[in-house]
Amino acid sequence: MTDIVYSAYNAAPAGLTEDTETEERWYETLRSDPRIGGLELPVFRGQLHPDGLARLVSLLHPGWSNTISAMSTTLVATKTDPGYGLASEDRDGRQRALSDIASALTETLLLQEQLGSASVRAFALQSAPRADRSSLSAFTDSLRQIAGWDWGNIELLVEHSDALVPGQAPQKGYLRIEEEMEAVRAATDPEGPRIRHLLNWGRSAIEGRSAATPLEHIGKLGDGLGAFAFSGAAPVATDRSAEWEDVHLGLAEDEPGSLLNADGTRRLLTKLPDELSYVGIKTGAPVGSRGTGRLQLGLSMLDVLR
């Protein structure tokens, strides 16, 4: 079984890093679960933890192989800086995004120095901003630059979000998967680091307004798929989302309305390539949940994957 990487930060209570006792209980719960092979760690403002790497190292399981994602940095930046992003047609906005990735790489390599080279397996990049302010050529150029940096044993992944579809309100509205595939092909140097793709079930379903779209995207990527994350999406309003909102719903058995159910998850697992870097789970928290109870949706998904 491919290792499971848990994006537990999506379920974390507000102010988790400001409450030492609660944060330690949170990570203790995650460390004690043998099904978890690592965490997706968000980088924000060049840092993996606001209190520094020493604090993060004290919380992580030393045997985990984690991934790093630039999504949090990207989402926050594009709220006030519409030209920001690796695919941006705004040269200065693209440079700001490249500088942030460079800072994140420095932080990532420092984490590896403290926990060992196996502690980070992959780094996820996004083709922001919205596609009407982006271009394939700009994203390709950014990927070429990034791939030229020294990533050591860390694999680069282009994380697909919902693309900008005419006549449809986007959640993120980044480049189409075909454009991301072309950028990866054009930017990949046989002598450089491998670049593959990261899919998220919920985001693919949101893009296509269908539970069939994730399978379509898997088929398009083939061996270019490097990792796959499970999170739900709903065509109707739920207790914590509007229709087709990207809030990382759980399984339908836990959150009625979600199109992702246990049987569908098991079937889709058989469609994934053998050489994935990891399988991910990305869920938010149930309405009204507190503390480690906010992990309920992710732990339920772990039961299905294992």
Question: In this structure, is the dihedral angle defined by the CA atoms of residues 281, 285, 289 and 294, taken in order, positive or negative?
Answer: positive
Task: Using pLDDT thresholds of 50, 70 and 90, give the confidence band for residue 1.
Answer: low
With tokens 């330690």, the residue in question is 24
Report d(CA 164, CA 173) in Å as an integer.
Answer: 4
Identify the three-state secondary structure at position 261. coil
Q: For residue 89, what is the domain's CATH number? A: 3.20.20.150
Domains in the chain: how many in total? Answer: 1
Range of the domain at 104: 4-305
Angle at 84 between CA 148 and CA 172, to 5 degrees: 105
In the chain, % of residues over pLDDT 90: 96
Amino acid at site 98: L
Task: Using pLDDT thresholds of 50, 70 and 90, give the confidence band for residue 78.
Answer: very high
What pLDDT score was predicted for residue 193? 83
Angle at 175 between CA 82 and CA 130, to 5 degrees: 20
210-234 pLDDT, tens digit per residue, is 999 999 999 999 999 999 999 999 9
Identify the three-state secondary structure at position 124. strand
Mean pLDDT, residues 202-216 taken together: 98
Contacts of 125 (CB under 8 A, 6+ apart): 70, 86, 101, 143, 146, 156, 157, 158, 159
Average pLDDT over the chain, rounded to an integer: 96
87-136 pLDDT, tens digit per residue, is 999 999 999 999 999 999 999 999 999 999 999 999 999 999 999 999 99
pTM: 0.97
Task: Using pLDDT thresholds of 50, 70 and 90, give the confidence band for residue 306.
Answer: confident
H helix runs in the chain, sequence order? 20-31, 53-59, 71-80, 91-115, 136-147, 177-187, 201-208, 213-221, 262-269, 296-305
In the chain, % of residues over pLDDT 70: 100
CB 241 within 8 A of CB 249: yes
Report d(CA 32, CA 25) in Å as an integer.
Answer: 11
